[in-house]
Structure 1
Amino acid sequence: MIEAGSLIRSLSGRPAARNFHTFVINEIGQGIVTGKYPVGSILASDAVMMETYGVSRTVLREALKTLEAKGLVEARPKVGTRVSLPSRWSFFDPQVLSWHFYAEPDRHFYESLFDIRRALETRAAALATQRRTAENIRVMKYWLHQMESAGGDLENHGVAALEIHRTIAETSGSPLLRSVTGIVELTLALALKQCLATGPGDYLSTTLEALTRLVAAIGSADAATATDIVTEVIDLDENRVMALL
Structure 2
Amino acid sequence: MGGIEAGIVSRRIPGHARVARALGSGIVAGRYPQGSVLPREAALLSRFRVSRTVLREAVKTLSAKGMLETRTRVGTRVRERAAWNLFDRDVLAWYLEGGVDARFLRDLAEIRLAIEPAAAALAAERRTPADLDALDSCVAAMRDAPGLDPAFARADLAFHLALADASGNVFMHSVGAVTEAALDVVFRLSRPTDPQAHAASWQAHAAIAAAIRAGDPAAAARATEVVVRDGLRNGAAAVEAGPGAPYPNASPPCAARSPE
Q: By the TM > 0.5 criterion, same fold?
A: yes
Equivalences, count: 227
Task: Report which stretch shifted further, 61-70 or 176-185.
Answer: 176-185
Q: Which residue of 1 aligns with 2:234?
A: 240
Q: Which residue of 2 aligns with 1:221?
A: 215
Verify: 1:48 aligned to 2:39, yes or no: no
Q: CA deviation at 1:96?
A: 2.5
Q: Which residue of 1 aligns with 2:194?
A: 201
Q: CA deviation at 1:114?
A: 1.3
Verify: 1:31 aligned to 2:46, yes or no: no
Q: CA deviation at 1:229?
A: 1.5
Where 2:76 maps in the other structure, the secondary structure is: strand
Q: Distance between the aligned counterparts of 1:57 and 1:153, measured in 2? A: 49
Q: Distance between the aligned counterparts of 2:65 and 2:75, measured in 1? A: 17
Percent identity over the alignment? 33
Verify: 1:230 aligned to 2:224, yes or no: yes
The residue identity in structure 1 corresponding to 2:21 is N
Q: Which residue of 2 aligns with 1:192?
A: 188
Task: Flag structure 1 segments of 5+ consecutive residues without an equivalent.
Answer: 1-14
Q: 1:74 to 1:95 in 2, by over 3 A?
A: same
Where 1:82 maps in the other structure, the secondary structure is: strand
**Deviations along 1:63-94, whole A, 9 cap, x unmatched?**
32221111011123443321112232223334
Verify: 1:119 aligned to 2:114, yes or no: yes
Question: Which of the two has higher C-alpha Rg?
Answer: 2
Task: Report which stretch shifted further, 202-211 or 222-231.
Answer: 202-211
Contact 2:190/2:231 (8 A) holds in 1: no
Q: 1:151 to 1:217 in 2, by over 3 A?
A: same
Q: Which residue of 1 aligns with 2:139?
A: 144
Contact 1:125/1:230 (8 A) holds in 2: yes
Where 1:91 maps in the other structure, the secondary structure is: coil
Q: 1:136 to 1:115 in 2, by over 3 A?
A: same
Q: CA deviation at 1:230?
A: 0.8
Q: 1:58 to 1:211 in 2, by over 3 A?
A: farther
Q: 1:72 to 1:155 in 2, by over 3 A?
A: farther
Verify: 1:162 aligned to 2:141, yes or no: no
Q: Distance between the aligned counterparts of 2:187 and 2:113, measured in 1? A: 16
1:79-118 paired onto structure 2 within 5 Å: 79-103=74-98, 106-118=101-113
How large is the RMSD of aligned CA atoms in angstroms?
3.1
Contact 2:139/2:202 (8 A) holds in 1: yes
**Deviations along 1:125-178, whole A, 9 cap, x unmatched?**
100111111111222233334434545565433233222212211221223323
Q: 1:26 to 1:142 in 2, by over 3 A?
A: farther
Contact 1:191/1:240 (8 A) holds in 2: no
Q: Distance between the aligned counterparts of 1:128 and 1:231, measured in 2? A: 14
Q: 1:136 to 1:50 in 2, by over 3 A?
A: farther
Task: Report which stretch shifted further, 131-140 or 117-126.
Answer: 131-140
The residue identity in structure 1 corresponding to 2:202 is L
Task: Flag structure 2 segments of 5+ consecutive residues without an equivalent.
Answer: 1-5, 241-260
Contact 1:187/1:241 (8 A) holds in 2: no
